[in-house]
Structure 1
Amino acid sequence: MADILLLGAGFVTGPLVDYLHGKGHKIIVGSQFLYEAEELVAGREGLTPKQVDVTSQEALGELVEKADLVISFVPFQFHVAVAKICIKHKTSMVTASYTHEDMWALNEQAKSAGITILNEIGVDPGIDHMTAMQTIDEAHEKGLKVEALVSWCGGIPAPEANNNPLGYKFSWSPMAVLSAVSNDAHYLSNGEKKSILGDELLTSMRAVTLTKDLELKGYANRDSLGYKEEYRIPEVKTLLRGTLRYPGFGPVIEAAKNIGLLSHEQFASQSPNSWQSLMTMLTGVEASELEAKLTNDVEINRSFNWLGCFSEEPIVGDSPIQAFCNLLCDKLKYEDDEQDMIVMQHRMILVDDEQNKIFHRSTLVEKGDKNGFSAMAKTVGYPAAIAADLILQGAITRKGVCIPVTKDIYQPVLAELDKLNIRMEEKLITDQSEASFLNHL
């Protein structure tokens, strides 16, 4: 039994707390909003809610000093500051967020402190890394080379809950979702480095057939090029990691971006008093003509009308993106009996010494529990919880800043996820037409 400090009490922390509580660990649940921590704790013994300001180094340091391990589920921009405090107090740390340069720069300090700072241990990034690496390592052990790896992942409504024009509902941070669609993307296609500017990301979406019953759209996710080294596949010619959505998502969010709804610029002292006035301010289109003239696409205009963007409802937020996030949270929320879904697929081309090709496909479709944990919460929360428990047990001993791409980490985590019925379905295909997934890259 150990003392754990969990920072954050948002969408995906329920399964994490349940798993670690079930292992007998004591947990302080720290949140900016005390009520969130209190709801998560729900009066269970060994769990303590606490209001925590992660920007207060002194107060946070006192909590970290008393903890055996810190799990940081606060917004990614705070992770480095938390990590520095963890290094000072020689306390290991787990996050589900991408590892930025400032975090990698702490590697030697973390090693000197004798601690583990494990990042990217959620679903994407996380389960995608671990399952891909399991296949890659097995292929290399058999003397095969990885010629191509295309990996897709998305958190979307289950088909029966896909009942709005965007084909999307929030089981994750709205700000993170909207911010991600402005990132530049870089990937490798048949040996050629390719880039997509953030302004063009959504218009670059291409069709992805996940299963025969699931036709989706995908766009490249951030910088795939670095994973050539991280995945230890110097031989790879095609390498892309991407995000999946239903077809309606891209056009509406692209239009929102063009209108200015994804702007972080704060409103002036005299902010718009309604959605109608905000849209007129951003576009110059008179309120009475918004539905007809907002864009040249009738369906997109109808989608904005459905969202309430042409209404006289007051806006909530101090910038367009904050107001839009709050609106989407209200309109695109899961009802109690609705399920979300995580969809993930790796497609690989493996080559032997005689240049024979083997096509490997791995697919995960995980639905949320009705009136229970969402699929997003399970696939983010459980990997982080499992890894935290393994570090505390001494089963994961790797020190420094790391991600779960080595066997000593991914093997025990995937084995435990399998017990929770979270696993990929593997399929080997000999039909050369399977290589068609490369055509649109």
Structure 2
Amino acid sequence: MKHILLFGAGKSATVLIDYLKNIATAKQWQVTIADANLAAVQAKVGNHPGVNAVGIDIEHETDRKALVEKADVVISLLPPSLHYFVALDCLAFGKHLLTASYVDEKIKALATDIKSKNILFLCEMGLDPGIDHMSAMQLVHRIKNEGGQIHSFLSHCGGLVAPESDTNPWHYKISWNPRNIVLAGKAGALFREGAKEITKPYKELFNNCSEVAVEGVGQLAYYPNRDSLGYIPVYALEEAGTFIRTTLRHPDFCKGWDLVVQAGLTDEEKHIDTDSLTISSFLQNAFADQKISLSTALLQEQFDFLGWNDLTFINKGYCSVADALQFVLEKKWALGDGDKDMIVMLHEIGYLLNGKNHVVKSELVVKGEDQLHTAMAKTVGLPLGIAAYLLLEGKITETGLHIPIEEGIYEPVLTALRGFGIRFNETNI
């Protein structure tokens, strides 16, 4: 009997767990879901004969290894810093590993050993990174096979709130790990535009963001995401004068978040005593320290919503400023009952074919069902589950350390995703 092990049952795991439950029923396979919060896992698993819920301290080596040893494929939705523990166990026992996280240097250092074990470590297999890689490479390969020369590549993606659930002046609600929202953009950005390499520091990232129109959604702002340059050789687009990977947000969000950054509210190094500190004092003190004012009606409305005059105590003890901000955001930006989130992805590729310039735009819009079965959980979780299924069925045969840029991986996965309503619409100019 084939056995899939999933580490992590947080916000992004809901739809994946449902998918694995269905696979366990259809194929009579065994599935184990392990998380530090056993009650949360049990609530999501329910009563299923083929799926076991397990509580585990992931850093407890004996318990972790015992689970990995029994599995055929391991999926990790743990925080990125914990993947390495699981990776070492998978390597030791010769098990396949799938994650939605960026490949870090420690995992890269295992590449030779992974290949020698004839197993697959497939990283960046979620939404962004993940579906963005697969859909972009499908376009890139098709254009090149037709003889096109790509000169411009922009790939945009964002987790947003659906218009029908958009009820605050930030036009944003939390559908994934709130820590990642607090720290988004911290590394700054590196990209190529107009044949020039451009570095954009964190404090400039959200200022005067460019915008793009998305069919059925309207205008969205975008800011460059991390190191785009590192993906130029990965995508084999050295000839592209423009290469940018970005994150999408509502234009108003960027205006407000720029002030959050300028006020130092995302600082992980500075610690403060939050016992008996109100949300109001937390926000107003930060703005006063940096001599920042709320200069427009929009900004006043946004920070009133965050708690400019809220006398609720934070009461998280001595913690980082970023921790305190996370407390505020989780309180103010929570998805409510019946709320829906929305995923938007857009690729814009300019190329020369038969002496003429062309632009292909490929758009994806996915809405969640409710505050638990979110579009974010769907688009992060399903690529992992589908890849695990295809791997065990022998329909993905690659071994070694990979991200999903090879046709043998992206074609069957994108085909399967279309069956779940995750499909792109193309226009050509």
Q: TM-score, normalised by structure 2?
A: 0.93
Q: What displacement does 1:213 show?
A: 4.8
| Counterpart code for 1:189 | E
Q: Distance in 2 between matches of 1:266 and 1:421?
A: 44
Pairing of 1:256-267 with structure 2 (within 5 A): 256-265=260-269, 267=271
Give the aligned partner of residue 169 of structure 2.
165
CA, structure 1 residues 143+55, in 2 after alignment: closer, same or farther (shift >3 Å)?
Answer: same
Give the aligned partner of residue 330 of structure 1.
331
Q: Distance in 1 between matches of 2:272 and 2:326?
A: 19
Q: Is the 8 A contact 1:189 1:237 kept in 2?
A: yes
Q: Distance in 2 between matches of 1:254 and 1:55?
A: 37
Is 1:142 the counterpart of 2:146? The answer is: yes
Q: What displacement does 1:392 show?
A: 1.6
Is 1:253 the counterpart of 2:252? The answer is: no
Task: Give the 3-state SS of the residue equivalent to 2:57 in structure 1.
Answer: coil
Q: Is the 8 A contact 1:294 1:301 kept in 2?
A: no
CA, structure 1 residues 26+204, in 2 after alignment: closer, same or farther (shift >3 Å)?
Answer: farther
Task: Give the 3-state SS of the residue equivalent to 1:139 in structure 2.
Answer: helix
Alignment counterpart, residue 112 of structure 1, candidates 100, 110, 116 = 116
| Counterpart code for 1:47 | V
Q: Distance in 2 between matches of 1:160 and 1:255?
A: 27
CA, structure 1 residues 162+61, in 2 after alignment: closer, same or farther (shift >3 Å)?
Answer: same
Give the aligned partner of residue 130 of structure 1.
134
CA, structure 1 residues 279+144, in 2 after alignment: closer, same or farther (shift >3 Å)?
Answer: closer
Is 1:79 the counterpart of 2:83? The answer is: yes
Task: Give the 3-state SS of the residue equivalent to 1:264 in structure 2.
Answer: coil
| Counterpart code for 2:402 | C
| Counterpart code for 1:68 | D
Q: What displacement does 1:309 show?
A: 4.0
CA, structure 1 residues 190+16, in 2 after alignment: closer, same or farther (shift >3 Å)?
Answer: same
Q: Distance in 2 between matches of 1:337 and 1:256?
A: 28
Give the aligned partner of residue 434 of structure 1.
none
| Counterpart code for 1:274 | T
Alignment counterpart, residue 28 of structure 1, candidates 32, 38, 54 = 32
Pairing of 1:310-389 with structure 2 (within 5 A): 310-317=309-316, 318-352=319-353, 354-370=354-370, 373-389=373-389
Give the aligned partner of residue 406 of structure 2.
406
Larger deviation, residues 117-126 vs 179-188: 179-188
Q: Distance in 2 between matches of 1:179 and 1:276?
A: 21
Q: Distance in 1 between matches of 2:250 and 2:22?
A: 36
Pairing of 1:95-110 with structure 2 (within 5 A): 95-110=99-114
Q: Is the 8 A contact 2:341 2:371 kept in 1?
A: no
Q: Distance in 1 between matches of 2:94 and 2:167?
A: 49
Say what the alpha-carbon RMSD is for the aligned residues.
Answer: 2.0
Structure 1's unaligned 5+ residue stretches are 430-441
Q: What displacement does 1:277 show?
A: 3.6
Per-residue CA deviation, residues 376-414 of structure 1 (Å, 9 max, x unaligned), is: 111111111101111122221211211000000000000
Q: What displacement does 1:314 show?
A: 1.3
Q: Distance in 2 between matches of 1:143 and 1:134?
A: 15
Identity of aligned residues (%): 34
CA, structure 1 residues 283+217, in 2 after alignment: closer, same or farther (shift >3 Å)?
Answer: closer
Per-residue CA deviation, residues 222-259 of structure 1 (Å, 9 max, x unaligned), is: 11112211112232221111010012211222222222
Q: Distance in 1 between matches of 2:371 and 2:314?
A: 30
Larger deviation, residues 247-256 vs 144-153: 247-256
Give the aligned partner of residue 433 of structure 1.
none
Task: Give the 3-state SS of the residue equivalent to 1:123 in structure 2.
Answer: coil
Q: What displacement does 1:272 show?
A: 4.7
CA, structure 1 residues 128+270, in 2 after alignment: closer, same or farther (shift >3 Å)?
Answer: closer
Q: What displacement does 1:175 show?
A: 0.5
CA, structure 1 residues 227+91, in 2 after alignment: closer, same or farther (shift >3 Å)?
Answer: same
Give the aligned partner of residue 432 of structure 1.
none
CA, structure 1 residues 371+284, in 2 after alignment: closer, same or farther (shift >3 Å)?
Answer: closer
CA, structure 1 residues 3+147, in 2 after alignment: closer, same or farther (shift >3 Å)?
Answer: same
Give the aligned partner of residue 207 of structure 2.
203
Q: How many residues align?
A: 422
Task: Give the 3-state SS of the residue equivalent to 1:28 in structure 2.
Answer: strand
CA, structure 1 residues 279+400, in 2 after alignment: closer, same or farther (shift >3 Å)?
Answer: same
| Counterpart code for 1:263 | D
Task: Give the 3-state SS of the residue equivalent to 1:248 in structure 2.
Answer: helix
Task: Give the 3-state SS of the residue equivalent to 1:235 in structure 2.
Answer: coil
Q: Is the 8 A contact 1:28 1:50 kept in 2?
A: yes
Runs of 4+ that moved beyond 4 A: 268-272
Q: TM-score, normalised by structure 1?
A: 0.90
Q: Is the 8 A contact 2:276 2:315 kept in 1?
A: no
Q: Distance in 2 between matches of 1:267 and 1:132?
A: 41
CA, structure 1 residues 109+204, in 2 after alignment: closer, same or farther (shift >3 Å)?
Answer: farther
Q: Distance in 2 between matches of 1:332 and 1:252?
A: 14
Q: Distance in 2 between matches of 1:295 and 1:270?
A: 23
Give the aligned partner of residue 46 of structure 1.
50
Q: Distance in 1 between matches of 2:237 and 2:282?
A: 49
CA, structure 1 residues 423+3, in 2 after alignment: closer, same or farther (shift >3 Å)?
Answer: same
Give the aligned partner of residue 438 of structure 1.
none
Larger deviation, residues 276-285 vs 358-367: 276-285
Q: What displacement does 1:371 show?
A: 6.7
Task: Give the 3-state SS of the residue equivalent to 1:186 in structure 2.
Answer: strand
